[in-house]
Amino acid sequence: MATKLIDERRIKVLNDRSPDDTNAYVLYWMQHSQRAERNEALEFAIGRANEHGAPLCVGFGLTEDYPEGSLRHFQFMLEGLAETAEAIQRRGACFVLRLGSPDQVAIDLAKEAIEVVTDRGYLRHHRQWRESVAKEIAVRLTQVECDLIVPVETASTKREYAARTIRSKIEELSDEFLHQLRTTPVDRECQCGPHGESLDDIDRLLKQMKIDQSVDALDWIVGGTSAARKRLKHFIEDRLTGYERERSDPLAAHVSTLSPYLHFGMISPVDVAIAVRDARQRRTSDIDSYLEELIVRRELAHNFTHYARADYDQFSCLPDWAIETLQDHRDDERPTIYTANELEHSQTDDEIWNAAMTEVRERGYLHNQLRMYWGKRFLEWTNTPEYAYRTLLSLNNKYFLDGRDANSFANVGWVFGLHDRAFGERPIFGKVRYLSKDGIEKKFDSEAYVAQLD
């Protein structure tokens, strides 16, 4: 497949300053796209550095205060960053990681920068960091969007209602963005960049950081681009066939487990989509079904956090019909009320749910079918829909390795009616879609699942 340059629609200048050639290097302030491969922002920054005849410095701000971050998330991220740092240095740029608020780290490194390039994030604090850097630095800041197939504002100029309203817009455009990216060699090697923290000993760095140590790190999954590529290869070879039919069976495990890697930008969704689309001797229905999740559903979630700016993490983000029907049923009697602590520690009378909650806590991952069932029961077991929403979102983001993502906010919202339609009215749920225990038991061998987690 022919390689192409970066599509102009991914690029946006965020302030009106000019480059300053008297400075030392071009800075790529990396935050969201934590990879050295298929990274449009990195390639763009190399191009700018070559044009200025200057070296490239890649800077990363590691904040201990990242919202809802814990040891589990930081360890996975640092494993990936250690690999990325090495790969960037092999390409002839330097990599500097500093502890501090990402915007402040970028502002400090920008004092010596000719110009600054960054990638794009889709949550409130990601936008605020970029706004603050654009305002504070004396040179140009350019954003290059690397973690969606179709850039968010190109796909749609408004908040979409559901997959059915964004699907045709994305499908019409996605082929234009599914191409290999031309890589640019670094002309002038960076000899000695600014000082930063070493990534040689991640455990030491993690111990020295003031972070929530209460959520254990994971040993079944390791961060980084090469681990992501290995998982993608395994998925295409062994799990893609049957994806469409078996994807509702958690035990069949026809899933890619790529969501944590996509969350930390360790692999490009474009690379994943191309590899799956071009997989040989695979059924079109399996390929289409996977691309529906990876492209349409994932990009719908990013549309949501991008356009529902103020309240994508609040109960008020739900559609009016859902809020109305949940309020109509707010006083309906609940079968049992559990405290947040009982829920978090799998102390309910539902053995499937308890096993799922245990998997969430211990593995930081759950199959989509179980996530749906796990999420839905919060409404039945808490006093109010608002409290159910808050408790679910907080456990989702505390334990999932892929938590705190646009997908987290959109899918927790989905439990309460977001991006969905109204169904027949029933107690507690009103017109919001209900998933029964009987229904989930018919989908897979739940006894075997529970036994596995015992």
Ligand X SMILES: Cc1cc2nc3c(=O)[nH]c(=O)nc-3n(C[C@H](O)[C@H](O)[C@H](O)COP(=O)(O)OP(=O)(O)OC[C@H]3O[C@@H](n4cnc5c(N)ncnc54)[C@H](O)[C@@H]3O)c2cc1C
Paired with 190 in beta bridges are none
Find the shortest distance in angstroms from Cβ 298 to ligand X: 4
- Considering only CA atoms, which of 53, 28, 51, 52 is closest in space to residue 41? 28
Find the shortest distance in angstroms from Cβ 117 to ligand X: 25
Find the shortest distance in angstroms from Cβ 282 to ligand X: 14
State the DSSP H helix or E strand holding residue 227, giving kind and residue range, or none if neither. helix 225-234
Among residues 21 and 278, whose Cβ is nearest to ligand X?
278
Among residues 270 and 301, whose Cβ is nearest to ligand X?
301
Find the shortest distance in angstroms from Cβ 170 to ligand X: 13
Contact 258, 268 (CB under 8 A): no
Find the shortest distance in angstroms from Cβ 349 to ligand X: 21
- Considering only CA atoms, which of 7, 14, 6, 16 is closest in space to residue 42? 6
Among residues 10 and 367, whose Cβ is nearest to ligand X?
367
Angle at 263 between CA 262 and CA 268, to 5 degrees: 30
Among residues 23 and 303, whose Cβ is nearest to ligand X?
303
Count how many Cα atoms sit within 13 Å of the Cα of residue 200 in the half-sphere of its side chain: 2
The Cα–Cα gap between 417 and 405 comes to 19
Among residues 202 and 258, whose Cβ is nearest to ligand X?
258
Contact 246, 212 (CB under 8 A): no
Among residues 31 and 259, whose Cβ is nearest to ligand X?
259
Paired with 141 in beta bridges are 116
Backbone φ/ψ region at 29: left (φ over 0), alpha (ψ -120 to 50), beta = beta
Among residues 146 and 262, whose Cβ is nearest to ligand X?
262
Find the shortest distance in angstroms from Cβ 408 to ligand X: 3
Find the shortest distance in angstroms from Cβ 59 to ligand X: 27
Collapsed DSSP state (helix, strand, coil) of residue 69? coil
Tell me whether strands 11-13 and 25-30 are parallel, antiparallel or unpaired.
Answer: unpaired
Tell me whether strands 11-13 and 141-144 are parallel, antiparallel or unpaired.
Answer: antiparallel
- C-alpha separations of 280 from 242, 266, 326 in Å: 14, 25, 47
Find the shortest distance in angstroms from Cβ 432 to ligand X: 13
Contact 91, 53 (CB under 8 A): no
Residue whose structure tokens are 């500093």: 98
Among residues 275 and 372, whose Cβ is nearest to ligand X?
372
Q: Which residues bind ligand X (CB under 6 A)?
A: 255-259, 262-263, 293-294, 297-298, 301, 368, 371-372, 375, 396, 400, 402-403, 405, 407-408, 411-412, 414-415
Residues, the chain: 454
The Cα–Cα gap between 365 and 259 comes to 9
Residue 267: partners with Cβ closer than 8 Å, 6 or more residues away = 35, 38, 225, 228, 229, 232, 258, 261
Among residues 88 and 291, whose Cβ is nearest to ligand X?
291
Find the shortest distance in angstroms from Cβ 359 to ligand X: 12
Find the shortest distance in angstroms from Cβ 119 to ligand X: 17
The Cα–Cα gap between 299 and 403 comes to 16
Among residues 115 and 145, whose Cβ is nearest to ligand X?
145
